[in-house]
Structure 1
């Protein structure tokens, strides 16, 4: 399983996958820091914390957009290669085109997973903070 994930990481394009991983770490650290700050501090207002957790959702959305940009660049590169192959007189095989499309989607899927994680974390954190505010 780990070998397959590592293979997908390299297939997706190391530059984009590393950048998305860095954005995942930043987003996760941001969300955890502000959740812990709100959960254990009595001085912080819940409105301020919810707004800052919203910034975490925006960071997650940025990772999705970055993943889509990586996918678009991958598709563009694939179409350029197909054009070069066609100009040399060779007809591109449909299997190669479909493989190129599937490989270009890896970055988008990774960005989507990170965005989904940030949405889920924000939802759970906001519910926990609101529950704590009601019980206080």
Structure 2
């Protein structure tokens, strides 16, 4: 299982996937910190919202950069590219935005939990 995750991180592009992993760890730590605090966490919640949105956009930025490089490579081959190679490239290109969406969703679930916790008091 660990090797699968590491392979996905490498396949998706280390320049985008590892920062997204770091952002996920930061967001989880901030959410845990906010859960453990008994006071209002307006600044922390706002920070988490901004970081999660950044992760989403950063993932899609990685996709755009990867697609630009892929299309440059395709154009240099004069359009002679096999369908499996193109499909594999698209699959790898979609890893970065998928991970960005995963980080966004996990962070938003944490924010929903914080909202529910704060509304009970």
Task: Say whether the 8 Å CA contact 2:27–2:48 is kept in structure 1.
Answer: yes
Partner of 1:85: 77
2:24 pairs with 1:21? no
Aligned-residue RMSD, C-alpha: 1.5
Partner of 1:75: 67
| TM-score under structure 1 length normalisation | 0.81
Cα shift at 1:51: 5.1
Select 2:57's aligned residue among 60, 65, 68.
65
Larger Rg: 1 or 2?
1
Q: Distance in 1 between matches of 2:111 and 2:65?
A: 30
Cα shift at 1:52: 2.9
Q: Structure 2 stretches of 5 or more lacking a match?
A: none
| TM-score under structure 2 length normalisation | 0.90
Partner of 1:129: 118
Cα deviation 1:41-76 (Å, max 9, x = unaligned): xxx3x3xx2453132122111101000000111111
Deviating 4+ runs (over 4 angstroms): none
Q: Structure 1 stretches of 5 or more lacking a match?
A: none
Partner of 2:96: 107
Partner of 1:116: 105
2:25 pairs with 1:6? no
Provide the aligned length of Structure 1 versus Structure 2: 121
